[in-house]
Amino acid sequence: MACAAAEANGDGTGGYILRDDASALASWTFAFGGDVLTDDGMQYVYNSPATVEAMTFLKDLYDSGCAYFFTEGFPNPQFAARKGLFAQGSTSGIPFYAGDVAKFAEEQGKTPDVWGVAAIPHTTAEPVQNIYGGDVMITKTTPEQELAAWLFVKWFTSPEIQARWDDISGYFPTRKGTAEFFSDKIKENAPFNQGVALLDYSAYEPQLISYTAVRDQAQKAINEIMQGADIQQTLDALTEFANQQEQTMQEEMK
């Protein structure tokens, strides 16, 4: 489908809009049945067969002219303008996709395209969906402050309050029972609910202290691969770098 869309446009656009960050690398690894961490979650493993196969697939898509990079901001304007049939991003961007699709249709004097959210193509029996977002933490302070923080978090994550938060922010709930309290606006938002349905297939990106630095290096690795670097060697180097970063930062904390 991406290849057909690219051929129809005939200008280097129209297919899959490549994303080159660490979340994309993790997402494709999950979809190909792997993980970017070892089983104990203590070390990185970006060079597993799953990641190699995923990057090989994307490189072939890119070399075949069925995918292209769009790095000037977010891809939703390109998607709305039919410069991409598929784009990968955060579901928190759903309102922006909806707005751009409506705006493009109005400018063209046409009915807005029907679009939606789907899982990344996967080799696993079920989809594996990357869940990544902001954290809520209780810092170590005094017993009184920690209790107050816990009472707030308990209130904030209750289904009724989560439903209000989802309505305002566009983010997903942390509890399944929240869906019972969704507003009519959310219930009528098909792409949002398609994303909610994928929460049952959740996988999580690394929570290691070094991940911020590793994310930057992962982005470089994806770009090097698309520019022709050896996939296995590039991912081997990324894995070595990531584990060295983690070891260094852990030692600095001692």
pLDDT digits (tens, 9 = 90+) for 155-183: 999 999 999 999 988 888 888 899 999 99
Residue 21 makes CB contacts below 8 A (sequence gap 6+) with 215, 218, 219, 222
Instruction: Report residue 36's pLDDT band, with 50, 70 and 90 as the boundaries.
Output: very high
Sign of the Cα pseudo-torsion (93, 94, 99, 100, in order) = positive
2-90+207-253: CATH topology: D-Maltodextrin-Binding Protein; domain 2 (3.40.190)
**Can you give the residue ranges of every domain in the chain?**
2-90+207-253
Across the range 244-250, mean pLDDT stands at 96
What one-letter code names the amino acid at 93? Answer: G
**pLDDT per position as a tens digit, 123-158:** 999 999 998 777 788 999 999 999 999 999 999 999
- The beta strand positions in the chain, using DSSP E, are 14-18, 67-69, 84-87, 129-131, 202-204
Interval 188-208 mean pLDDT: 92
Burial (CB count <10 Å: 0-12, 13-18, 19+), residue 92: middle
User: What CA–CA distances, in Å, run from 147 to 40, 142, 151, 156?
Assistant: 31, 9, 6, 14
Residue range 46-88, pLDDT digits in tens: 999 999 999 999 999 999 999 998 767 889 999 999 999 999 9
CA dihedral 207, 210, 213, 216 (to 10 degrees): -40
Asked whether the beta carbons of 89 and 75 are under 8 A apart, the reply is yes
